[in-house]
Amino acid sequence: MIVADIALPLARYRLEFEVTRPLHLPAYAGSTLRGAWGGALRAASCMTRKPVCEGCPLIHTCPYAAIFETRPPQHHAPSLQDFSQVPRPYVIEPPEMGERLYQPGERLAFHIVLAGRALAQLPLVLWAHVKAFRRGVGKGDGTAELMRVVHEGMSEQVILEGPGDAIAPHDTTPPAAAAMNQAARLHFHTPLRLQTNGRRATVEEHTARKLLMALVRRVALLCEFHGDGPLALDFPALAKHAETIESETQLDFQDWTRYSSRQQKKMSLGGVVGEWFLTGDLAPFAPFLHLGQWLHVGKEATFGLGGYRLDA
């Protein structure tokens, strides 16, 4: 079984800020950074000033809706599953775990990954970050000023030196995957949250099939809704082949909580971190495993969960 290379534009950007007012970030800042940026992105994009996007006549042409509250096109009949939401074409990768108070003059850096057509909105995405950090982020509304943006591709390239400058041209083709034969190791550095029947999977339920098919579905949906269209994939055959892959895990549960302003309550969002070893004929899954290093996998991937490094 052979799967062709997947032509999905991807880019990881490192945003570097200088703190101007004490800025407090929680132990895992992905949700905080995503929320602040999302609010600023909506403020910068919204033309109607409606309180919610539902029912807006511009929803299918609005850049905020396309990036942050993506919906299926009006003519679309879902091919992979019945869903009301499609995957977002971005991933926020926050600083390393650990509560931190940044003082004025200190540098704060984190990453954002953009996929597919979202890359055309890079100027808006960066400007929304500028506005968010000028307005205030985290407990106490700490502020910071964007100093530069670095594209992390085959090599590092500074593409922006401060707000207002032009963004330098850069290649958004992901680096080619290394050859993958019969073994791979995934090091999960942010909590992975896989699902079983609508609930979080236990450590024992983390099978090769569950992981690999979650990756296949995520990449396929992003290609379908934010790339050039659906991939020609035989999902039953891939699922059957995934059952032949053996796995060995050294995973530990890591818990963390976030406060949901929408649901007005604290939410437990723990997952597993550590090493996951796969052995077998991995060739059909090689492009998905490779792209997953940018796209992450599992629940809450948009704010950085399910992040891993691949050793083939």
pLDDT digit string (tens) for 190-232? 999 998 887 888 777 899 999 999 999 999 999 999 999 999 9
| R_g (Cα) of the chain, nearest Å | 19
Please list, in sequence order, all residues whose beta carbon lies within 8 angstroms of the beta carbon of residue 167, skipping any fewer than 6 positions away. 122, 123, 126, 149, 159, 160
pLDDT for the residue numbered 76: 53
pLDDT for the residue numbered 256: 72
Q: Which residues of the chain have pLDDT under 50?
A: 78-83
Note the residue count of the chain.
Answer: 312
pTM beyond 0.85: the answer is yes
pLDDT for the residue numbered 260: 61
Helices 208-226 and 286-295: crossing angle, nearest 10°? 70
pLDDT for the residue numbered 80: 46
Task: Look up the CATH number of domain 183-311.
Answer: 3.30.70.1900
In which residue ranges of the chain is CATH 3.30.70.1900 found?
A: 183-311
Q: Which fold has domain 10-160?
A: Alpha-Beta Plaits (3.30.70)
Kindly tell me the burial class for residue 298, based on how many C-beta atoms sit within 10 Å of its own C-beta (0-12, 13-18, 19 or more). buried
pLDDT for the residue numbered 201: 82
